[in-house]
Chain A
Amino acid sequence: MKCEILYPGAFPMVRVYLNEAETVKAESGAMVAASPTIDIESKMEGGFLGALSRKMLSGEKFFFQTLRASRGAGEVLLAPTVPGEIVLLDLDGVNEYMVQKDGFLAGAEGVKIESKMQSFTRGLLGGEGFFILKIGGSGQLILNSFGAIHKIELKPNEEYIVDNSHLVAWTSTTTYNIEKASSGWIASLTSGEGLVCRFRGPGVVYIQSRNPGSFGNWIRQFIPVSE
């Protein structure tokens, strides 16, 4: 499997080359186009209960689609729903990424996806919900974001503060705590930041340059209210 990002920027697409018998799993609905040698299967990753829990708990799609090059090598074009950049990550079997629920676009066959319950405070206040995706295994992982994607590299014990709604993914060696943006509650709320995540390295944090929730609120004012 080989990946290439087309039209990098706000409206990218991923071209995935598959050798014969290779597969790629993608978010349901992500396929844009494919060679005629590719078959599309719907597969519930982790079995029915696993898929159900992922659907119910993390809000991810119930089914992933599996694209299999069953009749010879071919290519698949994949695109996310929201405008925003795509990033390719290599998983080597030890590395694990925590991914917020809308961040997963596609992954190689060896990539393992599970829903993970967060600690109570993180789930309640972190902005990603109580369940996030824990993605490990080996092979290429394709994540998408809303807006541009930015990588923050943290050395051991180095800290960085991220507005929780801008989070896309972070490595499992990175820990974080939720805290107020300012020292006081009033200042935290009026500054518009509210709660932030303080990440501590080592590891990598991917953030998106736009906040989907704020964008939704902004666009709502232009939607006519029906009676």
Chain B
Amino acid sequence: MNLASNALCFGDGLPATGAPCHVTVSADGLRMGPVKGSQLSEESVAFVGMSVTAGGLDHDQLVVSWGGGTSARTVYLKEPALIIAFRRAAPPTLLAHLERAAEQVRRARHSHRAWWGSAVGVVVGLGLLLWFGSDLIIEWAVARIPVQWEQTLGETVYQDFLSKETVLKEGPAVSAVQEMTQRMTAQIPNNPYTFRVSVVQSPVVNAFALPGGYVVVFTGLMKKAESGEEVAGVLSHELNHVLQRHGMERMVKMLGLAAVVSILSGDQQGLIGLARQLGLELATLKFGREQESEADVTGIRLLSDARIAPDGMIHFFERLSETDQARVELFSTHPMSADRAKRLNAELAALPKQTPEPFTFDWKTVQNSLPASEPKK
């Protein structure tokens, strides 16, 4: 009797593409029926002595082997109905093999799906990242800028700026600001920056920090402050913008992809050229809301670490915002909202209580030493 083939049999003396055969499952094993033109003769194989695995290109075929040496035979079963019948009839001793085979198939399919899933995920993720996550890309790019570049860049703009201003070289104001900076920077672990702080004679009530650790404090701010702690509060905030590399992030954001590319290609001169085009905009960059709160929080922690009364900045902002918000430049870049004050106070409350150490200078003396607001040109 000739039947349609439903399996392929491999072994010595059989064609390499497999000899077609007709397999049926009986209670105690497999029955191999010959098909037309096949070299196989009818044969019954008991379950005892069989081994089972999954095989084929997609691990979707049941591979049954038996015998050894030249009489070793391997049959590939593909029809699902046949595979199910085999599983039902197989004795428990073979089931372990079968389970392993099924597990192989599941794993193969799973990894197949996982690969395609992750490939689709990566494509979608990249799309979303480019769409929504440009901030993340910027952070990633900025993290790759060497500190030394940042300093070269900051210094370029810093010198440009100072050359047009009257800078206080010495005096109580300069030493006071230096003392504040030293007390704070001493508390920064692994600080890669050398901070340089200049006091610039100007009625402007403001302070700013350039990338690379170049900080400018205007005498206008020092006159408005009622204590050294208030100035230290503002300074701490500015130092943290530098430490978190916020300036670089804003700059890369403004300059766009060209800057990112020049950073990645190691083109330092290109980056500095771009920064110079921006010039002093770099100094008056408006930071994002998240960057401000980050600098607020880390700023307050730094004050506390340096044992400087950390509420100075809050007092300063609150006092100024009540009286002359419109005239104070500091607010144009650091708007004081109720939310911000609340966040600052909450952060303050969460800090461990420490006894602040006063500064060595007397604030009134420092303020009195400040020259008249209008610099002589």
Contact = CB atoms under 8 A, between A and B. Distances in A.
Given A94-B5, A94-B8, A155-B10, A171 B55 contact: no
B82 to A, nearest CB: 11
A81 interface: no
A202 B16 contact: yes
Contacts of A173: 8, 10, 18, 55-57, 61, 76
Contact of B6 (A94, A121, A202): A94
B310 interface: no
B59 interface: yes
A54 to B, nearest CB: 19
Contacts of A175: 55-57, 59
Nearest to B120: A120
A93 B5 CA distance: 7
A153 B16 contact: yes
Interface stretch (B111-119, B164-172, B183-191): B111-119
Interface residues of B, number: 27
Contact of A94 (B10, B20, B58, B119): B20
Interface in B193-240: none
Given A92-B5, A93-B20, A171-B17, A98 B116 contact: no
B65 interface: yes
A119 interface: yes
A210 to B, nearest CB: 23
A92 B20 CA distance: 8
A93 B4 contact: yes
Nearest to B119: A120
B184 to A, nearest CB: 48
Secondary structure at the B interface, as helix, strand, loop or mixed, is mixed
A213 interface: no
B286 interface: no
Given A95-B8, A172-B56, A173-B8, A203 B17 contact: yes
Interface string B48-92: 000000011111010001000000101010100000000000000
Contact of B18 (A93, A95, A121, A170): A95
Interface string A99-125: 000000000000000000001110000
Interface string B2-15: 00111110110000
A176 B18 CA distance: 18
Interface string A142-185: 00000000000111100000000000001111111000000000
B66 to A, nearest CB: 12
A154 B8 contact: no
A202 B74 contact: yes
Among A98, A121, A170, A173, max chain B CB count under 10 A is at: A173
A210 B72 CA distance: 36
Interface string A194-215: 0000000111100000000000
A78 to B, nearest CB: 23
Given A95-B8, A156-B74, A203 B16 contact: yes
Contacts of B65: 156
Interface string B101-127: 000000000011001100100000000
Contacts of B56: 172-173, 175
Contacts of B115: 119-121
A94 to B, nearest CB: 5
A204 B16 contact: yes
A70 B204 CA distance: 97
A204 B16 CA distance: 6
22 contacts: A93-B4, A94-B6, A94-B20, A95-B8, A95-B17, A95-B18, A119-B112, A119-B115, A120-B116, A153-B16, A155-B16, A156-B65, A170-B57, A171-B17, A172-B61, A173-B10, A173-B56, A173-B57, A173-B76, A175-B55, A202-B10, A203-B18
